[in-house]
Amino acid sequence: MIKAAVIGGAGYTGGEMIRLLLQHPEVELTAVQSRSQSGQAVASVHKDLLGETDLEFQKEVPAAEVLFLCLGHGHSGDFIQQYEPNQETKVIDLSQDHRLQHSENNFIYGLPELNKPHIQQAQRVANPGCFATAIQLALLPLAQHDKLKQPVHVHAITGSTGAGVTPLTTTHFSWRQNNLSTYKAFQHQHLAEIRQSLQSASPSSSLEAIHFIPIRGDFTKGIFCTAYTALPGDLEEFQQIYRDYYRDHPFTWLSSQGISLKEVINTNKCILNLEYQQGNLLVTSIIDNLIKGASGQALQNMNLMFGLDETCGLKLKASGF
């Protein structure tokens, strides 16, 4: 059994990480660290875990074979510097602190559909962002075939859990209910890692501009993303490109029918759909922002790092109704 610990386990991604680790057949969750909730029962904070675990949050950093860093952005780098995990301990960071190539501490970018062989050999993995995951999976097959030569226009709507557990004006029920709004238009922080990945996948690295409009949605979980670009060709050709690219990736699927967000909620899947109209290819991409966009992908990375079946502990059913 792999001994695992969660660092910063009181938030949304921490809660999902705990839930997934508890039901993984090859993992023993030995500790959950949280300074803010130290001494409290894990199930008193994550009430959906009542009856699933007797663990309490602890203040000190535990020893483990793998650490999942579910800390706020900017804190994971500080954690690595302060505690310096030994070379035998694998680290998976769910924050944005180590996603870019110039980051320190030798982290591999943890998008399995892009970097699987490198992840399998890695000691430290930087888990991708949720928007970044949905958008990259929508565009990577086109990048690999050098077809992103025109600007790409992306609209993606996310649930309120994407903003974290700390209450904000824009996550308050009275504001979010029956409401929509854009934010960080053209300058979202995930754009840097998206460009980095697409450029690495493109033979000529001739990536054109990505115009990204993030949208706050009136729901709790999930990302519904549409991306389109001008592109000569036909639908059958593009569908074959996507099927070939994702043939060996068990969580990303191309649907020939229209897709809706409930099909992926509570799963580690990304489902894609293609439409071709008037010389434009439209790619729709859907994920659960806390699972494939965070904790589920982190567990997928752990499976790869320890030589387990990639789907181990992640055969989850969506609530499609």
Neighbouring C-beta atoms of residue 124, cutoff 10 Å: 20
How big is the chain, counted in residues? 321
pLDDT in tens, 48-63: 999 999 999 999 888 8
At 29, which helix (H) or strand (E)? strand 27-33
- For residues 197-223, give the mean pLDDT: 89
- Tell me which of 130, 225, 270, 312 is the catalytic residue: 130
Domains and CATH numbers, the chain: 2-127+292-305 (3.40.50.720), 130-289 (3.30.360.10)
Neighbouring C-beta atoms of residue 267, cutoff 10 Å: 21
- The encoded tokens of residue 237 equal 């050709």
- For residues 85-96, give the mean pLDDT: 91
pLDDT in tens, 263-292: 999 999 999 999 999 999 999 999 999 999
Alpha helices in 202-258 (DSSP H): 235-245
In this prediction, residue 103 carries a pLDDT of 60
Distance CA 95, CA 71 (A): 6
Neighbouring C-beta atoms of residue 55, cutoff 10 Å: 18
Is 90 in a helix, a strand, or coil? strand
Distance CA 315, CA 64 (A): 25
The verdict on whether 70 is a catalytic residue reads no
Residue 277 CA: distances (Å) to CA of 70, 127, 144, 228, 260: 41, 34, 22, 10, 20
Residue 77's pLDDT band, with cuts at 50, 70 and 90, is confident
In this prediction, residue 283 carries a pLDDT of 98
Is 206 in a helix, a strand, or coil? coil
